[in-house]
């Protein structure tokens, strides 16, 4: 197995290529955030390695790559795709997966490999983090050995990716759920309480409720007319079903459907959340008054007033503030699933 250096460049991948006559095995690059889940990801990864090698080493070059700072996984992924890796596997939670997905794109376009042009690198996932909400949509348990078995079987299918854009600046990609206002603010605070594990989501939500005010939002679906939704508490754009540590927020979303499910909660008070919490977890909240669901391939969201403090997050990562446009990229990535 090869270990990629801590630099974004991965010279050993190109060394493998120059020895190509000797080995036709392709590289699988495992992107590991060793500090994930309060350091648990690094420890679990070490325990998993012997099993992973026994299952995969006869067919692939196994390349470990440890991230050393935020966004490092993006650089590692781009380099691996350019060097024709067979797959890039995110080892960790939704944050690591989110970075790896963003590494499949550069300057608004898919990354291409240096040799064949069109990239054929697949995305893989070994859930080993605080939150593994994306894995839940596929019914995957937090079982790293089962994830290795999936990679060994190598069955692939294409999944959609969401892209978030605004008038200026680089587009940003997400694979799970993007959300706006209260839930995005809760995610922003939850990231500060990661040391409390899964409980961080509850603490984040409580903190977000302080000083929260529902706001009127202007929304345009699939390029139609602008429509005002009043007293919006939260708006969620689902490519997949779960967020916030297991809430089935967009229960009809399917990452192979070529559509988002957009769920809008209007005029919720803090006690409405408490009363409906079980429904948010089992996905039956769409029957609740003031909850609407829209199927869309693009949605633009802006604040009705001129304040610019409405939070936006993607896959649990803080992205800034409204206005934003969310669009689906159908079948954008091939995924091992």
Name the catalytic one among 75, 86, 94, 133.
94
How far apart are alpha carbons 330 and 296 in whole angstroms? Answer: 12
How far apart are alpha carbons 233 and 311 in whole angstroms? Answer: 11
Q: Is 179 a catalytic residue?
A: no
Active site residue ranges: 94
């Amino acid at each position: 197995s090869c270990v990629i250096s801590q630099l974004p460049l991965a010279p050993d991948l190109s060394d493998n290529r120059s020895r190509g006559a000797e080995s036709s095995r392709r590289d699988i690059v495992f992107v590991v955030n060793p500090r994930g889940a309060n350091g648990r990801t690094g420890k679990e990864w070490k325990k998993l390695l012997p099993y992973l090698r026994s299952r995969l080493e006869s067919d692939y070059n196994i390349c470990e790559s440890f991230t050393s700072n935020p966004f490092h996984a993006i650089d590692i992924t781009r380099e691996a795709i350019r060097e024709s890796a067979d797959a890039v596997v995110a080892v960790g939670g939704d944050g690591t997966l989110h970075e790896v997905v963003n590494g499949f794109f550069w300057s608004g376009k898919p990354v291409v490999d240096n040799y064949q042009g069109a990239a054929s690198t697949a995305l893989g996932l070994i859930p080993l983090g605080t939150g593994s909400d994306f894995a839940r949509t596929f019914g995957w348990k937090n079982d790293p050995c089962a994830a290795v078995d999936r990679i060994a079987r190598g069955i692939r299918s294409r999944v959609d990716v969401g892209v978030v854009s605004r008038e200026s600046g680089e587009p940003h990609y997400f694979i799970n759920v993007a959300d706006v206002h209260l839930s995005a603010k809760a995610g922003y605070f939850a990231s500060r309480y990661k040391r409390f594990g899964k409980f961080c989501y509850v603490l984040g939500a409580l903190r977000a409720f302080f000083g929260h005010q529902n706001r009127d939002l202007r929304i345009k679906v699939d390029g139609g007319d602008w429509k005002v939704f009043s007293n919006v508490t939260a708006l969620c754009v689902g490519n997949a079903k779960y967020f916030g540590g297991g809430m089935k927020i967009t229960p009809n979303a399917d990452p192979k459907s070529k559509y988002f499910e957009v769920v809008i909660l209007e005029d919720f008070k803090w006690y409405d959340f408490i009363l409906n919490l079980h429904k948010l977890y089992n996905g039956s909240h769409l029957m609740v008054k003031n909850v609407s669901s829209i199927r869309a391939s693009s949605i633009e969201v802006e604040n009705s007033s001129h304040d610019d403090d409405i939070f936006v997050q993607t896959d649990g990562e803080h992205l800034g503030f409204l206005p934003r446009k969310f669009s689906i990229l159908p079948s954008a990535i091939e995924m091992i699933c």
